[in-house]
């Protein structure tokens, strides 16, 4: 059972897709992520890529984020996100789009700016570094943004040129399958 851990919607249960099409972040990992960024949530504009159930963006809204945009390539997942946004009372502060993550970021260039981003792709896809790099390339995040990467087998190498402008706030492994890297985007020197 997934739920909102704390804040405005504390304790609200969240729906998830049946089967293993999505892999929800465990409550333990979600708690650790939000403990690390708990003082940096107020009034943030959130982008939840690979939203799944929407639990990361909704948790951020519950804790004081201003608005959230949820992106997922699955229509079924997006219907779950919308139901969860309604049940938690955050539907009016949410935007929903069925799209592949990289395509959304390209199209958002010049139109959208975010300062808190959750990137949690299917573990086998290894898209964390790619998406983090696209956020910078297309100007979709602002200096001071926090970007949370949750990955499986993908090793996050801070020497990767796509991660230029980022620095690590926290890096942790949970069991044998999950790595979380919380990055701070300082901006790129011209």
Q: Is the pLDDT of residue 180 over 70?
A: yes
Residue 23 lies in a domain: yes
Distance CA 125, CA 139 (A): 23
The answer to whether position 150 is within a domain reads yes
User: pLDDT digits over 75-88, tens only?
Assistant: 999 999 999 999 99
CB count in 10 Å sphere of residue 83:
15
CA 129/CA 18 separation, integer angstroms: 28
Give pLDDT, residue 20.
61
Residue 18 domain boundaries: 2-185
d(C-alpha 162, C-alpha 158), whole Å: 9
Flag whether 126 is in a domain.
Answer: yes
Q: For the domain that residue 133 is a member of, what is the CATH number?
A: 3.40.50.150
Number of domains in the chain: 1
pLDDT reported for residue 87: 97
- Report if residue 190 sits inside a domain: no
Phi and psi at 27, nearest 5°, equal -60, -35
pLDDT-derived band at 176 (thresholds 50, 70, 90) equals confident
The residue assigned the tokens 């260039």 is 109
The secondary structure of residue 106, as a DSSP letter, is: H
């Amino acid at each position: 059972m997934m739920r909102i851990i704390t804040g405005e919607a504390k304790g609200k249960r969240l729906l998830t897709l049946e089967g293993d099409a999505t892999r929800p972040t465990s409550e333990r990992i979600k708690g650790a992520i939000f403990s690390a960024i708990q003082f940096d949530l107020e009034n943030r504009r959130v982008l939840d890529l690979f939203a799944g159930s929407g639990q990361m963006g909704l948790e951020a809204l519950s804790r004081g984020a201003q608005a959230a945009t949820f992106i997922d390539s699955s229509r079924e997942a997006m219907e779950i996100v919308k139901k969860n946004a309604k049940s938690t009372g955050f539907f009016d502060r949410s935007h929903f789009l069925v799209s592949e993550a990289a395509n959304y970021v390209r199209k958002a260039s010049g139109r959208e700016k975010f300062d808190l981003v959750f990137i949690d792709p299917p573990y086998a896809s290894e898209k964390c570094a790619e998406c983090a790099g696209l956020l910078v390339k297309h100007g979709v995040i602002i200096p001071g943004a926090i970007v949370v990467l949750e990955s499986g087998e993908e090793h996050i190498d801070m020497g990767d040129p796509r991660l230029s402008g980022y620095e690590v706030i926290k890096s942790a492994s949970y069991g044998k399958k999950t790595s979380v890297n919380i990055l701070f985007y300082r901006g790129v020197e011209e």
